[in-house]
Every structure is written in structure tokens, then in C-alpha cells.
Amino acid sequence: MKLQRSGFVAGIALTAAIALTGCGSDNESPGSASSAAPGDCVGGSLTAQGSTAQKNAMDDWIKAYQTKCADSKVDYQGTGSGAGIEAFIAGTADFAGSDSALKEEEQPQADAKCAGGKALNLPMVIGPIAVVYNVDGVDGLQLSSPTIAKIFAGKITKWNDAAIAAENTGAKLPDAKIETVHRADESGTTDNFTKYLSKTAEADWTYSNAKAWKAPGGTGVSKSDGIATKVKSTPNTISYVELSFAENSGLQTAKIKNGAGEYVELSGESAGKTFENAEIKGTDGDLALSLDYATTTPGAYPIVLVTYEIACSKGSAKAKEVQAFLKYTSSSDGQKALADLGYAPLPETLRTKVADSVAKIS
């Protein structure tokens, strides 16, 4: 089941006309789009790390930016969201990529690295989290959040368990042991996936949400590409990974039951619908989002993530270099470059907010 990237992009594009809560057009600078144009080049080098979910996007962005800005160098390492935030706080990363906004306890530590300013959460890459599996002869697997929670909590251990069979009438489910696979490193993808479970299957998922995997059992694998490789090469496995990695590895993806009671296939339109209820909870240029994982919007695919760039609003020794690069990533051209990579552009109402925040970095 390989999703068409053009369909994914088209689906997200539908949300461009939808004003996210807190994303109105009031107080927007008329020059937002032009201020984010990829024409600003600042010579020098940047060191960044973090989210592996956005690694493919970053690689493409860096290549395009360095081609346009020959005197600029950006080194981004996909070390995982947790490691990226730690590096930013330690001062060894000029900006960080994270699949989750800074947590309450992390914010003051990150702010301390921004003399006279604060650390901003800037959403830059949008994508859904696919539940991927490798079960011979089983196509179009359907799963609800309680069943997913029970599988990853070790309460359902066989593929032909009654709970799975009840959601997949007529499927030939094998009498085989399920091997769950999770991220071994701290990951914002894990944080978002477990947040989905904790919000929609509270009775069956008692481990809350975190970047570090908390449930017992299963096999831990580092990085998103490691997850994709493990599932592709190991029968009877199930895991979670970003769409771009699922697509690149040709993995089967499950249909997920949403709050409206529908089993929804992962597609551009279905993922985009979840952002209809997204809410900006940050203030003063911080654009941390709150997503409704239990969305009852018909046709919405509920497991989505947003990758943030964590950067100083002011006070960074590399402020000009960071601003120049993020002007490109948040520009219309930069966002359009995601189309062929299994990601999707930010809705325009949100992109202009990001561009405005980037334009004020000093």
C-alpha cells in the first residue's frame, strides 16, 4: 500500500484556506511572504541536530540553500529529538529539530541560551505517523486506538487475537507472535505516538507520553530509518514511523479508526483534516501547536506530528545565520520543496505566521 505523495500534498494544501485557531490574518505583515523569500544569504556555518523525522527534508533544504548561498554551510545530524534539545540547551547546536514542542521543564533551560530573548517553537515540517506492519497476506489492516494500545503494551500478543480479528473481518490473520518495534532513542515521534494513545485509549495505555519509550517488552531500534529497516526485514512486526520513511521503504500502513468511528486510510486529504482543529498555544512568536488526536472530523487520519525548529528569538551568536536559513525553509519555495519527499507544505495561514516569527529573529 504505497501512498501517492501528490495526493498527500494536495490534501494538506486543502487546509491552506482554513484559518487555524489562533492563526488569523490580523496583524500579519504584508511583506511576510517576501521577507521569507530564499534570496537572503548569510555566510558562515551552522551546526544543528535533532529530529530524524525531518532529516530527509533537512537534507534537501540544506542542499538547495547551500547551492543558492555558496558561502553558507549547514550541518544537520538526525540524532533524535531528545538529543537535539539537549544539544541546544548545552550550546552545541545553533538550532534543534524536535517532533514535540519544548516541555515546561525544558523551556527555561532553552531560554537561558537566548540572551534577552526566548527559545521559539517554530513548526516547519508536517506529516502523519504511519502504523506500519509486516504480516504476510494481510493487506489493509484496520486498527482502533484501544487495540493499538493493547498491542504495544503487550496485552495482545498474537496476530489472530480476537480483538484484531473483530476489526478485520475476513482477513487471514496468522497464529503468529506479534513483535512490536519502538524507538530506542528519545524521539518526538514516540512522544506524539504515545500522546495519541494516551488521549484516545486511556484505559488501555497507562504509560502517558514521553520521548523515551516507557512500555515493557518489544524491540528497541534507533532512528526512523532503523525502524523502517527492521519492519521491512522482519515478519510479524508492527511499529510506528513517519510517512516519508514508510513510503521510502514500501511498508504496509494500517487504516486507523478516528473519533468519528471511521477506519481511515493514510492519505493527504485524511491527514490534512486533522489540522482543521489545530490550535496555537504559544505566544509572542512561539508557535507551539495543540492537536486534537480524538478528532471527530469525518475522514480525518488522527496520528499526525509537526516537527519544530527550536531557535532563539534573540541573543544567539548565530542569529543572522539561523534566520537566513529558516527564512528559506519557511518560504513558499522552501515548503514546496517538501512535495516529493513524503512531507507536505505548511498550510499557508500557518506558514506566514512562521515566516513572521523568523523575520523577527535578532
pLDDT tens digits for range 322-358: 999 999 999 999 998 887 787 767 878 889 999 999 9
Q: Do 69 and 46 touch, CB atoms closer than 8 A?
A: no
Place of cell 501528490: 6
Q: Is the pLDDT of residue 20 over 60?
A: no
Predicted pLDDT at 329: 97
Instruction: Note the Cα 47 to chain centre separation in Å.
Output: 21
Predicted pLDDT at 313: 98
Give the range among 117-131, 262-276, 328-342 with minimum mean pLDDT.
262-276
Q: Is the pLDDT of residue 13 over 90?
A: no
First CA to last CA across the chain, in angstroms? 46
Q: Is the pLDDT of residue 315 over 90?
A: yes
pLDDT class for 268, splitting at 50, 70, 90?
low
Structure-derived torsion over alpha carbons of residues 202, 239, 304, 282, reported in degrees to the nearest 10: 70
Predicted pLDDT at 275: 73
The 8-class DSSP code of residue 126 comes to: E
Place of cell 480525518: 300
Predicted pLDDT at 21: 42
Q: Is the pLDDT of residue 24 over 60?
A: no
pLDDT class for 2, splitting at 50, 70, 90?
very low
Pairing of β 289-290 and β 304-312: unpaired
Q: Is the pLDDT of residue 138 over 80?
A: yes
Paired residues of 253 in beta bridges: 132
pLDDT of 36-90, one tens digit each?
344 589 999 999 999 988 998 999 999 999 999 999 999 999 998 999 999 999 9
Q: Is the pLDDT of residue 33 over 60?
A: no
pLDDT of 152-193, one tens digit each?
999 999 999 999 999 999 999 999 999 999 999 988 889 999
pLDDT of 218-255, one tens digit each?
999 999 999 999 999 999 999 999 888 898 899 999 99
Q: What percent of the chain has pLDDT over 90?
A: 71
pLDDT class for 260, splitting at 50, 70, 90?
very high
| Span 268-285, average pLDDT | 80
d(CA 172, CA 326): 49
Predicted pLDDT at 217: 96
Average of per-residue pLDDT values in the chain: 88
Quick one: three-class SS letters along 311-336?
EECCCCCCHHHHHHHHHHHCCHHHHH
Q: What percent of the chain has pLDDT over 70?
A: 88
Predicted pLDDT at 30: 33
Predicted pLDDT at 140: 95
Predicted pLDDT at 19: 40
| Span 29-34, average pLDDT | 35
| Span 140-151, average pLDDT | 98
d(CA 359, CA 32): 8
Predicted pLDDT at 163: 98
Burial class (CB in 10 A: 0-12, 13-18, 19+), 233: exposed
d(CA 98, CA 144): 27
